[in-house]
Amino acid sequence: MPSSPKNRSTAMADVSIYWFRDDLRLADLPGLAAAAQAGHVIPVFVRDPDLGDTWRIGSASQWWLHHSLLSLRTRLAEQGLELILKSGATVAALSALAAQTGATTVYCSRHYQPWAGALETTLKERLSKQGVRLKRYPGTLLHEPEDVATGGGTPFKVFTPFWRACNRRPDPHQPVPVPELTPYNGLIESEELLDWGLLPTSPNWAFDWNDLWHPGEAGAQTALTQFLDYHVQDYGDGRDIPSEPNTSKLSPYLRFGNLSPRQVWHAAQASKLELPEAVGSIEKFLSEIGWREFCYHLLFHFPTMPDEAFNPKFSFFPWDDDPERLIAWQRGQTGYPIVDAGMRELWQTGFMHNRVRMVVASFLTKHLLLNWRAGEEWFWDCLLDADIASNACSWQWVGGSGADASPYFRIFNPIAQGEKFDKAGAYTRRWVPEVADLPNKYLHKPWEAPDDVLSAAGVRLGDTYPRPIVDHKTAREAALSAYGTLKSLD
């Protein structure tokens, strides 16, 4: 545990700023540890309304950001530091803060969003004119994107060799502990978190999220420990069953840096020793962390990935433009229970199970022939873990246009997916109560149920629950035919 600030030497005069970004934690933050070594630390978070342009933080993620900042503020206060909140252009805000406080260095974690490199360069130039240094540290990935390359020195475009190459590298560094921080004694004006309006108000659609989620470092550690203690052994076989708690739900913590991937990696390695029978399952889990790395590797090398099809042929794909169908998908009113269950889970909890994300994404791009960008944007707004790299990469993977993508002609059958992965129907019944009383045989295809079965279950198709907005077989053929139009471009 860090000692009380009162016990610390006040002889150190150097003042530095730690610029928090998507790394809202104190442990395993190499840049913060370096700042702590250098002297007094001013922790700051800048809310830059222009950063990211179309990829400005979405509504659900704002909720997580608010609570992560609250948690960080409390953690810093325990060491006598105030988290300074500033709004406005990042470069101007940080340069003004350095000028006001006499800080000699700004420390931060390196970021990889398409705009991050340019921002860091501009900031470095501006600060250096004031005689202030910018020091960037790794902290959000296991391996820096430039450190993993093919034999020919080019970026990987296929996951398996990428992850193999990562695993051939030296193990990720051990997490660094929470540093002892020395507060800066001068007065700095901070904005009020509540004034930022990050929480929904009218209506407050997140009214029960405090019962579901615990953003911040403590919540992250609890989620990691519980997963490794109780669920990881079932991960390998059970990760595709959306009604079971077999996955870690660590994604929002990783997205906001409440937890570092190095902490996850080392904790998982330790679990291998304690649970030798679960090694296969743990490796599978780590390979999913590997997918997160891969998405960032791709984003770093191909920064247009969130906005443009990775496979340029897909810019000519004959996407449909049907706002009504898009709304039916968004609201979970497609008439396919597993799809509707996923979309409602997303709306109500800010999360959706990975298997169901694949099903609903396939349904949007293949059954409805709607552009993957529309799904990417909806997820961006609704997901607590909305992550520019993983979201873009996954949407392109399902839509068929991505690097190492699922082939376009692999069209998920929403009935078969429901019957296979939600066989007993617990997940679908929970999110689509209108069909909950149907027997399993018809749960994933209510339109095939005889009238007496529908009536016994209180289902009136087209009234209490929609008829399917597209016919599976017809939609599949239409998708294959639309895909066929790209073949002429080979």
Residues lying near ligand FAD in the complex (CB under 6 A) are found at 239, 247-251, 254-255, 288-289, 291-292, 295, 354, 357-358, 361, 379, 383, 385-387, 390-391, 394-395, 398
Sequence-distant (≥ 6) Cβ neighbours of residue 11 within 8 angstroms: none
* C-alpha distance from residue 199 to each of 216, 217, 249 (Å): 16, 19, 21
Choose the catalytic residue: 55, 163, 378, 395: 395
Asked if 293 contacts 143 with a C-beta cutoff of 8 angstroms, the reply is yes
Residue 312 corresponds to which amino acid? Answer: P
Residue 378 corresponds to which amino acid? Answer: W
Establish whether 371 is a catalytic residue: no
Q: Of 86 and 355, which has the nearer Cβ to ligand FAD?
A: 355
Choose the catalytic residue: 115, 196, 205, 319: 319
Name the nearest CA neighbour of 364 among 405, 390, 336: 336
* In the complex, least distance from residue 288 CB atom to ligand FAD, rounded to whole angstroms: 4
Establish whether 288 is a catalytic residue: yes
Q: Of 348 and 354, which has the nearer Cβ to ligand FAD?
A: 354
Establish whether 434 is a catalytic residue: no
Phi first, then psi: give them for residue 322, nearest 5 degrees.
-135, 90
Q: How many residues does the chain have?
A: 490
Choose the catalytic residue: 265, 291, 329, 378: 291
Name the nearest CA neighbour of 116 among 143, 128, 97, 134: 134
* In the complex, least distance from residue 266 CB atom to ligand FAD, rounded to whole angstroms: 15
- Residue 346 CA to chain centroid, in angstroms? 13
Q: Of 252 and 446, which has the nearer Cβ to ligand FAD?
A: 252
Q: Of 18 and 336, which has the nearer Cβ to ligand FAD?
A: 336
Establish whether 78 is a catalytic residue: no
* In the complex, least distance from residue 450 CB atom to ligand FAD, rounded to whole angstroms: 35
Establish whether 19 is a catalytic residue: no
Q: How far is it, in rounded angstroms, from Cα 223 to Cα 213?
A: 10
* C-alpha distance from residue 11 to each of 8, 14, 99 (Å): 9, 9, 22
Name the nearest CA neighbour of 319 among 359, 364, 376, 357: 364
Establish whether 372 is a catalytic residue: yes
* In the complex, least distance from residue 51 CB atom to ligand FAD, rounded to whole angstroms: 18
* C-alpha distance from residue 441 to each of 270, 423, 446, 452 (Å): 43, 9, 9, 14
Q: Of 107 and 421, which has the nearer Cβ to ligand FAD?
A: 421
Q: Of 245 and 458, which has the nearer Cβ to ligand FAD?
A: 245
* In the complex, least distance from residue 394 CB atom to ligand FAD, rounded to whole angstroms: 3
Burial-class residue 385 by CB neighbours within 10 Å (0-12, 13-18, 19+).
buried
* In the complex, least distance from residue 185 CB atom to ligand FAD, rounded to whole angstroms: 39
87: three-class secondary structure by DSSP: strand
287: three-class secondary structure by DSSP: helix
The residues annotated with a catalytic role in the active site are 288, 291, 319, 354, 372, 395
